[in-house]
Amino acid sequence: MRTFGSFVVGLLCLAAFAVALPLLWVGMNIADEDGYVALSRSALDDSDTRNEVVASVVDELESQASTRLTEMGVPQSMIDQTLTEIGRAAAEGLAREAVVDAWAQAQRQAHQQMFDGQDQGFVVELAPLVAAAAEAADVDVEVPSSLPVVADDSATRDAIALVDNTPGQATVALGAAVVLGLASVAIAKRRGNALLVLSIAGLIVVGMEYVLAHLAVGSFEVSDASGLGDRVASVVLDVAQSSYDRMLLDVGVGTLVVVVVGAAWAAAGMLRRRRGQDAAL
């Protein structure tokens, strides 16, 4: 009876563990603002994405400058010449590392917009980048506080809508997995064996999570990456997959340590029982 009870509780533990892993990652890297900024920073490592961001920022800055110069009555020929110089200086300025800090601030603002309850999809915020470009090009323009570029497809909106409650859900699922795991081992007749079997099953769960995550990412399309918001969303998705893989690797290593502990405990129990049998003889 104790063995059966331990088995049932162990299954519940594994189910909670399987649910907790993705929730924990999403809570730390998507729902959490600092985690999202750190994750999305890696998007600039992709040269095509970086170039597209720079091009979009320069276009926006040139548009702002053109409006300002037109209002001042500057001839169109001079405006065109000025915009060429502004574009060159801004692009050179954004090629420097200053863009990384501006990008971090932009993504912080984007995160706040995505999770403000407005259901507007994936957001790339350009305002801090345009301000950095204006400073680099020494252009005096009034940059709006927000210049969002939105990937507003239904799949992206649905995914973002699911993220809000993940930190609390992750805490509940992880706590349940720990409590149920301890209970499964505690009520087992042979606790070392129970810990060994449970930890090996945990490794299998980690492997299944890896496969399922890759299948899920492979089936998730972001509007064919046709615009800036779509491209950044696609790159962030790739970065997220790598980040989740690293977390699963860390969890797998930790679970493997528990397997070793369980094996040692089970072996010690086996030796004790064998010595007890020998003593009885």
Least confident of 51-65, 109-123, 156-170, 266-280: 51-65
Distance CA 144, CA 106 (A): 13
Distance CA 158, CA 163 (A): 9
Looking at residue 39, its amino acid is: L
CA angle in degrees (0–180, nearest 5) for 97-99-103: 130
The percentage of residues in the chain with a pLDDT greater than 70, rounded to a whole number, is: 71
Nearest Cα to Cα of residue 131 among 68, 185, 57: 57
Q: What digits encode the pLDDT tens for the residues 51-92?
A: 677 677 667 667 766 776 676 666 676 666 666 666 666 666
Q: What's the DSSP call for residue 42?
A: G
Q: Which of 48-62, 162-176, 222-236, 262-276 is the most confident on average?
A: 162-176
Query: Terminus-to-terminus CA distance in the chain, angstroms?
Result: 29
Assess contact for 108 and 29: CB atoms under 8 A. no
**pLDDT for 135 beyond 70:** yes
Q: Report, as an integer, the average pLDDT of 47-52.
A: 69
Q: What digits encode the pLDDT tens for the residues 208-264?
A: 999 998 887 766 655 544 556 666 777 777 888 889 999 999 999 999 999 999 999
Domain ranges of the chain: 2-29+166-280, 45-160
Q: How many CA atoms lie within 13 A of 67 on its CB side?
A: 8
Q: Report, as an integer, the average pLDDT of 105-121.
A: 80
What per-residue confidence (pLDDT) applies to 110? 86
Looking at residue 263, its amino acid is: A
Three-state DSSP class for residue 46: coil
Are β-strands 122-125 and 148-151 bridged in parallel, bridged antiparallel, or unpaired? antiparallel
Assess contact for 159 and 236: CB atoms under 8 A. no
Q: Which residue did the predictor score with more confidence, 118 or 254?
A: 254
Distance CA 118, CA 149 (A): 15
Least confident of 93-97, 163-167, 234-238: 93-97
What per-residue confidence (pLDDT) applies to 122? 75
pTM for this model (two decimals): 0.76
Provide the mean pLDDT of the chain: 79
Three-state DSSP class for residue 95: coil
Three-state DSSP class for residue 149: strand
Q: Which residue did the predictor score with more confidence, 191 or 41?
A: 191
Q: Report, as an integer, the average pLDDT of 105-109.
A: 85
